[in-house]
Chain A
Amino acid sequence: MSEAFTYVGKSLPRLDGREKVTGAAHYTADLVLPRMLHGWLLRSPYPHARIKRIDSSKAEAFPGVMAVLHHDNVLERVYPPETRPAEQTRFSFSAFDVTNPPPGTLGHSGKYQAVREQVLFPNEVTHVGDVVAAVAAETAEAAEQALALIEVEYEELPAVFDSEEALTDRVLVNTWLKTNVVRVVEVKVGPVEEMLSQAAMTVSGRFRTQKQKQCQLERTCALADVDTAGKITLHAPTQMPHAVRRILADVFRLPMSKVRVVTPNIGGAFGKNIGMSAEPYTVALALAARRPVQVVYQRDEDFIGSESRHPVIMDITLAFAADGTLLCIKANSLLDAGGYATQSGEVTQVHGGYLIRLYKSKSIHYQGTAVLTNTPVSGGYRGYGAPQALFALEQLIDIAAAKLGMDAMELRRKIALKVGDIDPPTRRPVVCSGLEECMDRGAASIGWAQKRGKGRQGRRRRGIGMVIEVSISGTGGLAGFQEKGTAIVKLTEDGSVNITCGATDLGTGVKTAIAQICAELLQVPPDKIDVSFGDTDASPFDIGSHGNRTLFVPGLAVREAALELCKKLTDYAAKMLECDPAKVVLKDGRLHVGSDRSLSISEVVNHGHFNNLEFIAVGVAPVANAAGFGAQFAEVEVDTETGEVQVLRVVSAHDVGRAINPMIVAGQIEGGVFHGLAQALAEEMVVDRQTGQPLNPNFMDYKFLTAADVPNFEAILVQPVDPNGPFGVKGVAQNSTSMAPAAIANAVADAIGAHIHELPITPERVLAALRAAKS
């Protein structure tokens, strides 16, 4: 890379540094509005029940209580007569609901209908913790006390907690739906049966993964206000403000222009905030009370009242020719959606994509099914079905390599997606891949050649494992997905810049990287660039932050806008300097003609503003995508007496296209490994199989690991510079999370000589695998 950039590629400190390290930054629960009320939610203690009767009269009479809402009264309390529906609007808490993928999506069977079964206050609850009622009061104590005064008579209904049992529909999770199945995705390509019968060697396995919780430190919360004209302002740490705005406008029967969603600083999201959680209740309470209402979940509510990672059962067969050519990927995945469908359909699709995209196969048969159970709702969590998929797929690849007598990396090199191959989700050739370099550098760092297969002796055994992946950069150009990224860039009279975009910064620092992109193009230093994300009043529609998109797509939008502004500046400067626009060069914040004449951006903009010209550009991201590859290597030590696994190193090499800010990207990669390591070894949301009770909705019994439990994580950045992304960027945010469970599982297998098919890899499972391997 010989380009000399001023700002791109530099590890500049983030622009929000001071406010974050001094505690000045405000998050939603830090905000206080005048006359603000506190909202608390009443939750079902039963996994499945009909509400026969609610009597909230005592709660409503409790001093300080200003609103109580539930199934029987929500329509009168929240809607004025002119907009009041006859029944509660059915909607989905998933923000993706606004995209409602049309036919033609990956594996669409022609019958997909988005499931919109949720209402604000149901009279049939489908999981422990499902919301039954809401209270807004002057103090949190009053709200909490008033909750206990709401009398609810439940009729318990049969419940099902096991996804395979739920698939039979013998017990319905939600009797308003006719089946527990919410989505079936099927992809069949090539002569599957023929390839299976021709195969020289097959490997098969059943794999199971657990329910995992995002555990962002900021507990779920929202703050809603209704102004005197009836306009709602919702402050919430959502990832998808424009989408949420649309759903709320629909539910509350308001014009979208009368609903504003603003995102304060977000205390971590990791996909949880793609789904709505507190938002609709907070708005409902604000409408009923006609005062601002703030809802902050307790930590146990956060566990069970916001979405978590799908448990998945996978049955996979890989069929090979003798030389290692992959003849067939046959995969059947059952995803546990929990009590409501929300975005399970999307996760089922994306999960399947991870199974079938990475390796070239002569035939593919993927069937993915999302099924409801009476457990806390599953939704978006960093990786979005990839960690589960790779946990299974990459272990089978290791097993296949061993059977073929090939090194595990050698097999991957042979069959992985490469430049020139048709990339299934975009149906176009891959144009840029850094996968080889990721593997080379990662393998060298971990000591692949020296250590692989060499540590399998003694009481403490060591092993190394690897995994590779390919992921998307946003959803542009993917068959059937809708991508929408727009940004406004404005120049001001002093030459500083305002950017507004409807995506959100989840805390990743993407706003700084976006500023760097704009800085490079407009030749204005990043600290003169203000980036405003996530205010629906200020920004044009953007689908929001998810799917590795927030630098790639908004970056493209900002690029388009900045390029347009560059042209406006050079054209106008040419007018002012009376020369040919082709002779004007923008450099170092000035517009130069030759070596002797120049104007500052400020002079040009100032002049223009008083001559009827604005320097505002609306940039629309072109439809584009880029395949982001990665290779991750883990080294573990296994205590064969206790089964405990200690992770010694994780090296995660990523083809990031170009690192706009290497420090920010490395931080994303390192932080992503942590989630995957936790999924591999430590974390599980346990739901009692008899009662449906979540048993560990807290940080005591849910093992959120500490700094003393993990090693340093090492990121390697590979930068082949993709032609699609802004300055060559590819999306990366989820990818290190996606790979870590498989990397650790393969490392454990290298250490103990046996693969473990269930997550988390607990000490007991390790001991069981060791004993099975012995006998």
Chain B
Amino acid sequence: MSQRIRLRVNGVEHQAEVPDHLLLVDFLRDELGLTGAKTGCGYGICGSCTVILNDQVIKSCITLAAQADGAEVRTVEGIATQSELHPVQAALIEKGGYQCGYCTPGVVMTATALLEKNPNPSEAEIRAGLAGNLCRCTGYTRIVQAVQDAAVVMRD
């Protein structure tokens, strides 16, 4: 009824024995104390639980911790360096692309992965890319602007 898993989270190796049914989001939050990823719906629509697994954004609320065995996981806590925020994070602050901040960790992960794969996205591509991250506060306008700004910074 439990699994031994090994995975790297934000560059740090972890080994743990986890219940078979444990969701990845709960592993990150309860076992590792990384509470940036959150459960907003529990069925993969709202995106508050977004993390990057092996370079791809996924919904950690519909992923088992066991499925992450051997994987490289990045969460919002690992996006900034020791000294600097990631351009996506800095742009969100600069543009006012967050309000309550609950969706923000998920948005940061999705936007980061989007720009890593597509350094010069159109507005439509940004909006489609963010369609798996629901936000109730901003109306999305400033999130999109922040991603556009971050894209410019990352291209330089």
Which A residues contact B (CB, under 8 angstroms)?
11, 13-14, 16-27, 29-30, 214-219, 265-268, 270, 298-299, 506-509, 663-664, 666-668, 670-675, 698-700, 704, 706-710, 712-713
Contacts and interface: CB of A to CB of B under 8 A. Distances in A.
B151 interface: no
A269 to B, nearest CB: 8
A22 B141 contact: no
Most buried by B among A22, A27, A219, A699: A22
A507 B99 contact: yes
A214 B41 CA distance: 14
Contacts of A508: 99-100, 137
Output the residue of B101, B135, B136 with the most chain A CB within 10 A.
Answer: B101
B132 to A, nearest CB: 8
The 5 closest A-B pairs by CB, nearest first: A23-B36, A507-B100, A267-B102, A20-B101, A674-B139
Contacts of A22: 36, 76-77, 79-80, 85, 89
Interface in B62-105: 75-77, 79-80, 85, 89-90, 92-96, 98-105
Given A22-B36, A217-B40, A673-B139, A267 B101 contact: yes
Contacts of A267: 38, 100-102
Given A217-B102, A506-B100, A706-B134, A700 B142 contact: no
A29 B39 CA distance: 10
Contacts, number: 172
B36 A18 contact: no
A17 B86 CA distance: 13
A486 B102 CA distance: 28
A507 B102 contact: yes
A20 B130 contact: no
Contacts of B93: 13-14, 17-18, 21
Nearest to B102: A267
Contacts of B143: 707
Interface residues of B, number: 55
A670 to B, nearest CB: 4
Contacts of B105: 23
22 contacts: A11-B96, A13-B93, A17-B98, A21-B108, A22-B79, A22-B85, A23-B37, A23-B76, A23-B104, A30-B29, A217-B48, A217-B136, A218-B40, A218-B100, A218-B102, A219-B40, A298-B42, A667-B96, A667-B137, A708-B130, A710-B139, A713-B139
Given A22-B89, A23-B35, A27-B38, A216 B100 contact: yes
Given A298-B42, A671-B99, A713-B139, A21 B104 contact: yes
A710 B134 contact: no
A672 B138 CA distance: 8
B113 to A, nearest CB: 15
B144 interface: yes
A21 B48 CA distance: 13
Contacts of A216: 100, 102, 136
B101 A25 contact: yes
A699 B41 contact: yes
A267 B134 CA distance: 13
Contacts of B5: none
B144 A217 contact: no
A671 B138 contact: yes
Interface of B: 29, 34-43, 45-46, 48, 75-77, 79-80, 85, 89-90, 92-96, 98-105, 108, 124, 126-128, 130-144
Contacts of B38: 27, 29-30, 217-218, 267
B65 to A, nearest CB: 15
Contacts of B89: 21-22
A710 B140 contact: yes
Given A20-B104, A22-B79, A670-B138, A707 B133 contact: yes
Contacts of B75: 23
Given A13-B93, A217-B48, 15 more contacts: A20-B101, A21-B108, A23-B37, A23-B105, A25-B101, A29-B38, A268-B102, A298-B42, A299-B40, A509-B96, A509-B99, A674-B138, A699-B134, A706-B130, A709-B131
A433 to B, nearest CB: 26
Nearest to B142: A667
Contacts of B42: 298-299
A700 B44 CA distance: 10
A216 B99 CA distance: 12
B103 A217 contact: yes
Given A27-B102, A707-B140, A21 B92 contact: yes
Contacts of A219: 39-40
Contacts of B134: 215, 217, 699, 704, 706
Contacts of B102: 27, 216-218, 267-268, 507
A664 B85 CA distance: 21
Contacts of A667: 96, 99, 137-138, 142
A267 B104 CA distance: 10
Contacts of A268: 99-100, 102, 136-137
Contacts of A298: 42
A27 B40 CA distance: 12
B60 to A, nearest CB: 13
A21 B98 contact: yes
Contacts of B124: 708
B94 A30 contact: no
A29 B38 CA distance: 9
Given A22-B85, A667-B99, A667-B142, A217 B35 contact: no
A219 B48 CA distance: 11
